[in-house]
Amino acid sequence: MESKNKTVIKSMSLLNLFLTRSHLTLNEIVEFSQIPKTSVHRMLASLEEMRFLDKSSDGKYSLGLLFLRFGQLVSERLDIRQLALPVMKVLRDDVGEAVNLIVKYGNEAMYIEKQDTNQPVRLYTAVGRKSPLYAGDSRIILAYLPEEERDRYVEQTVLKPLGLGTITDKKRLREVLDKTREQGYTISKSELENYTTAISAPILNHNHNIIAGLSIAGPDIRFSEEALPQLIEKVKQAAREISFKLGCENKN
């Protein structure tokens, strides 16, 4: 384990060289890193195979496309928080409930921004909290994933009950996901926490890909059947507004 850790550390030191230089030859990397040439050659081959580095026809190395993808993802997540926050504040003040911004994080969802309600009885959802994609307001992200990715997730995931209303039947979950795509929102009741309700809508980018989910959540006593239609429309409108800022012109 220790040797593997040392290899990872050395590989990272090689990648760090590209923070100040766009292209480097093998000999330059050896010189700057002070690592034996045979070790550098071996690590470069692994980094190239994993697409962390690209090698040009003249033998120079540069950061690979994988880093561009990572950079774009980080940028989008930073941008989405900045773009969403003003809309989230307006929505919170309008409906009087907590507003959450959720993104996909591996095979889970993560809350990356929130606006708390001033109501004395409220839900406490911390920024950084993770939740499964199949339950609660996070399900909006699962619903809008590419069909193959969505089906693979449902097939491979054990649907554990987290609250009284958690969907644990895969056939039922697929039906709910299809309906969510059709209507442009999802409602969850007691799925992550008992006696709570959440309404979420998708935030899409210019390619109409899911970037995040926007939700309002609170005790179910404040989400009456009479109030739901108006609350749903407000969440959808707020999500459309953020999506529009991201270049999604056909508002969902």
| Pairing of β 61-63 and β 98-105 | unpaired
Burial (0-12, 13-18, 19+ Cβ within 10 Å), 172: exposed
What single letter denotes the amino acid at residue 82? Q
Residue identified by tokens 């409930």 is: 97
Residue identified by tokens 């540069």 is: 62
Round to whole Å and give the CA distance between 30 and 194: 58
pTM score: 0.69
pLDDT of residue 120: 55
pLDDT of residue 1: 44
Output the tens digit of pLDDT for each of the chain's 252 residues. Answer: 445 567 788 888 888 888 777 888 999 999 999 999 999 999 999 888 888 888 888 889 988 877 766 665 665 666 788 889 999 999 999 999 999 999 998 889 999 889 888 765 556 666 778 899 999 999 999 999 999 999 999 999 999 999 999 999 999 999 999 999 999 999 999 999 999 999 999 999 888 889 999 999 999 989 989 999 999 999 999 999 999 888 787 544
For the chain, what is the mean pLDDT? 87
- HEC sequence for 27-48: HHHHHHHCCCHHHHHHHHHHHH
Helix (H, G, I), strand (E, B) or coil at 5: helix
Neighbours of 183 (CB within 10 A): 14
Q: Residue 116 in contact with residue 127, Cβ under 8 Å? A: no
Helix (H, G, I), strand (E, B) or coil at 214: strand
